[in-house]
Amino acid sequence: MKGLTGTSSLLRTSLVACGVLLTGIAPAQLDSLRRVAGALPNDTSRLPVLTEMLRHTVFTRPDTALVIAADYLAIAGRSGDPVEIGKAHNYAGMCRTVQGRPAKALNEYLLALRSFEQGDDPWYTAMAHNNVAAIYKDERRNEDALVEFNKALVGFQEVGDTVWIANVRNNLANVHYDHGELDSAVYHYERAVAILSGKGQDAFAAQVRMNLGNALYVKGDLEAGLARMKEARDQHPIGEDGSYRANILNALGHLEGLHGDRDSALAHIREGMRIAGEVGAATALADGEEFLADIYEHWGQADSALVHYKHMKARRDSLLNAERSAQIADMQVRYETEQKDVELAQNKAVLERRSLTIKAVAIGAGLLLLVALLVYRAYRLKRRGEHELARKNAIIEEQLREKELLLREIHHRVKNNLQVVSSLLSIQSRGITDGKAREAVQDSRQRVKSMALIHQDLYRDGDLTGVPMHDYTERLVSGLVNNYGKDDSVRVVIDVQDISLDVDTAVPIGLILNELITNALKYAWPDGRTGTLTVSLKEQDGRLVLRVADDGVGMPAAEAPAKGSGFGLNMVRTFSGKLKAEWEVEGPPGTQVVLQIGKYELAR
């Protein structure tokens, strides 16, 4: 069948990858996240921030992401949580995949799989099988890839994740296609299209539908393949992912040309090449030239076919040269990195030998000095008496005053730095046109302000060891109500015991309060309704009981905060775990969140 090679080539370049589309992140934003992570204790409370940093760097800055993944693994290892350990290995595997190091990526994915199995987490276990299979497929180990993809499919079917079921079916179809098993490929493509279309995933569904059309054509059913291609064109959202739309239009035009519809074929391929040129999709441009050459040859116009074949050859050669240049540059970087690693190892060995020598000399000198000091001290103790004790007491008091002053200055600077971060987030939000993105930045700004209030209290008050929770809660609630313009519509009831908490307890409680109160102000009283917000914090039976309640519209049980998946609620769950808190959600009517905090420290 004429044109078979061109269509097969298009299928390989347009197969849908099972991954998450992520955007890059500006250096200033990454630095801001680093500062937020640095302000948190070096424990699992940092993991949500590290996750956010990884999501935005793993596909664009894999070397940076690999360092972040190592920090994630260190914290997860100390926590002993096998699921968190598995996530760290999975992120490292993604970094290695982007770097083009499949062997190291496979090792990380296998470690992740083992950890997820130990943690008895079926979703992450299925995801790890999928990632292992993807490496096997790239390495042309098709039988191994089929085994792992099928394990992933069974896992996602057990947990009921239909979108991931479609992802895995598409991947299975790709493997069957490469293996020449076209009936199996068509079966899985059709199942994936049905799931994605039913879920409203039109862009992804259109891409899989294009794969299905290619497979039907290669199988010999040109009519069915052409019909699926037209469906893919109609389903793909205009203006979304130009490179895939260019691939769909090119493939549709090719099949139309083989079917004899000349005008439509040329129009679709030229439109696809125009879009490819706009988005810089060099491979799609080369495919367009190849398809034009193929259909002109099919129509018996050898001169036109030769012209487009030459254009295609020039574009493919350009792509090959660019790939070779990139490979050479990558190999040079890897060689230089390995050489530096060797030099660093050699220098480290030399430094260690020198350090041992210095330590031995220092220990000997220290022992001699210690003996001399002991003799001298024994002599001086006889003569110092009460005068020496008084002098030491004076020194200790002076040091205490200096430390208190230093601690006050530290809290002052932390407060100022957090205010700078809050101001930067405010400035950044003004330039964001997307409502959800602007809301996320404003939420992050409010979280920073909640931490700044704690350091402001420590700096202003005479007691540097604790945070007076009644005053802090009043200021936090007042600021949030004012920020959301609810001063006139929401009555606030503060019932907080007059206690002071240690900073390590006050910070997570402040962030939890910020999230719960923010959720109430956003969703409890829609359409300008009025209501009452109650915030309570008291010690009861050896536990600290935190309660945030509203008399608003309430929420269904399926949307309860404990089941949410947003960044803020993930952070609440993380800090609740750190505080060993048990929490429950009551309502409707209204919504009441109660946390029974078992791990907390009062200020001394």
Please report the pLDDT score of residue 337 as a whole number: 52
The predicted pLDDT at position 368 comes to: 83
pLDDT grade for 1, boundaries at 50, 70 and 90:
very low
Average pLDDT (78-99) is 92
Q: Are 470 and 496 within 8 A, CB to CB? A: yes
Give the helix ranges, DSSP H, for 524-600. 567-578
Confidence grade of residue 19 (pLDDT, cut at 50, 70, 90): very low
pLDDT, position 438: 66
Q: Are strands 591-597 and 581-586 parallel, antiparallel or unpaired?
A: antiparallel
Distance set, CA 189 to CA 175, 210, 277, 278, 576 (Å): 11, 9, 29, 29, 43
pLDDT at residue 7 tops 50: no
Residue 572, pLDDT score: 81
Query: In this predicted model, which residue has the larger pLDDT, 95 or 444?
Result: 95
Q: What is the per-residue pLDDT across 224-265, written as a single tens digit (0 to 9) for each?
A: 889 988 888 888 888 777 888 888 998 988 988 888 888 988
Check residue 78 and give its pLDDT: 93
More confident residue, 301 or 321: 301
Query: What's the chain's length in residues?
Result: 604
Show the 3-state SS of 350-398: HHHHHHHHHHHHHHHHHHHHHHHHHHHHHHHHHHHHHHHHHHHHHHHHH
Q: Give the C-alpha separation, 111 to 300, whole Å.
A: 57
Using CA atoms, how far apart are residues 490 and 126, in angstroms rounded to an integer? 46
Looking at residue 58, what is its pLDDT?
A: 83
Kindly tell me if the per-residue pLDDT of 10 is higher than 50.
no
In angstroms, rounded to a whole number, what is the distance separating the alpha carbons of residues 379 and 389?
Answer: 15
Rounded mean pLDDT, 368-372? 82
CA angle 388, 394, 398 (to 5 degrees): 145
CA nearest neighbour of 547 among 578, 574, 587: 587
Average pLDDT of the chain is: 80
**Whether residue 29 has pLDDT greater than 90:** no
Least confident of 142-146, 182-186, 314-318, 577-581: 314-318
Q: Which residue has the tokens 């005008």?
A: 263
Model confidence at 44: pLDDT above 50: yes
Identify the DSSP state of 602.
B
pLDDT of residue 387 exceeding 80, the answer is no
- 409: exposed, middle or buried (Cβ count in 10 Å: 0-12, 13-18, 19+): exposed
Q: Is the pTM of this model over 0.75?
A: no
Q: Which fold has domain 465-597?
A: Heat Shock Protein 90 (3.30.565)
* Per-residue pLDDT at 31: 84
The CA distances from residue 493 to 8, 276, 446, 477, 547, in Å, are 68, 60, 21, 10, 11
Query: Residues 48-76: pLDDT tens digits?
Result: 999 998 988 888 888 888 999 999 999 99
Residue 502 φ then ψ, to 5°? -60, 150
Which DSSP string corresponds to 487-503? TTTEEEEEEE-S-EE-H
- Longest distance between any two alpha carbons in the chain, whole Å: 116
In sign, the C-alpha dihedral spanning 313, 314, 319, 325 is positive
Domain residues of the chain, as ranges?
238-327, 465-597
Mean local confidence (pLDDT), 345-353: 72
Comparing CA positions, the residue from 503, 583, 596, 584 lying closest to residue 542 is 596
399-430 pLDDT per residue, tens: 655 555 555 555 455 545 555 565 655 566 66
Residue 430's pLDDT is: 65
Is the pLDDT at 341 greater than 70? The verdict is no
When pLDDT is averaged across residues 491-497 and rounded to a whole number, the result is 92
Q: Are 9 and 290 in contact (CB under 8 A)?
A: yes
| Pairwise CA distance, residues 360 & 493, whole Å | 66
From first CA to last CA, the distance across the chain in angstroms is 84
Q: How many C-beta atoms surround the C-beta of residue 363 within 10 A? A: 10
CA gyration radius for the chain? Answer: 32
Angle between helices 4-14 and 242-259 (to 10 degrees): 160
Token pair 């900073």: residue: 503
Q: What is the pLDDT of residues 526-543, one digit of tens each?
A: 888 899 999 999 999 889
Judged against a pLDDT cut of 90, whether residue 356 lies above it is answered with: no
C-beta separation of 122 from 157 below 8 A: no
Pair 457, 471: CB distance under 8 Å: yes
Q: What is each CA distance from 235 to 162, 201, 202, 230, 365, in whole angstroms?
A: 19, 10, 6, 9, 81
Q: What is the pLDDT of residue 159?
A: 92
Query: Which carries the bigger pLDDT value, residue 415 or residue 12?
Result: 415
Which of 110-114, 388-392, 461-465 is the least confident region? 461-465
Mean pLDDT, residues 169-175 taken together: 93
Q: Who's near 450: CB < 8 A, 6+ residues apart?
A: 476, 510, 511, 513, 514
For residues 223 and 431, the model is more confident at: 223
Cα 596 to Cα 583: distance, rounded to the nearest angstrom: 6
The pLDDT confidence band at residue 8, using thresholds 50, 70 and 90, is very low
pLDDT in tens, 129-171: 999 999 998 888 989 999 999 999 999 999 999 999 999 999 9
> Does 508 sit behind a cis peptide bond, omega within 30 degrees of 0 on the bond before it?
no
